[in-house]
Amino acid sequence: MNQDYIEGLVGKRVKLVKTNDPYTDLINNEYIGTVYDVKKVNFDGGFIQIWCRFDNGSNFAIVPETGDIYEIIHEKKIILKSPSYDWTGKI
């Protein structure tokens, strides 16, 4: 991901659309929240953590490289979808 794009996420409203995390229940809960930090992790091949405080009280990182898909929203309108990764981690 582009460094300017990554840094520009802080303060944005996002919606978690898909996750492979078995403990995140997207069927019964909506995960819309605000990005408060973005970390680039440089081990295990490198990945991005997009840390969010969700309106439902949850607080965790979205990790696109693991299959998490999010959308940036503005006034309840989607303005940008996250890049899609195939199972190999490539865009």
Considering only CA atoms, which of 46, 40, 53 is closest in space to residue 11? 53
pTM higher than 0.85 for the full model? no
* CB of 16 closer than 8 Å to CB of 24: yes
Q: What is the pLDDT of residue 74?
A: 77
CATH T-level assignment (fold) for domain 3-81: SH3 type barrels. (2.30.30)
Over range 20-42, report the average pLDDT.
91
* Contacts for 76-82: CB closer than 8 Å, 24+ residues apart: 78/15
pLDDT-above-90 percentage for the chain: 52
Q: Tokens standing for 54? A: 């969700």
Tens-place pLDDT, residues 58-67: 999 999 999 9
Q: What is the pLDDT of residue 50?
A: 95
Over range 69-73, report the average pLDDT.
93
Report d(CA 91, CA 78) in Å as an integer: 21
Helices (H), the chain: 3-7
Task: Give the confidence band of 39 by pLDDT, cuts at 50, 70, 90.
Answer: very high
The domain limits of the chain are 3-81
Over range 21-43, report the average pLDDT.
91
Helix, strand, or coil (residue 35): strand
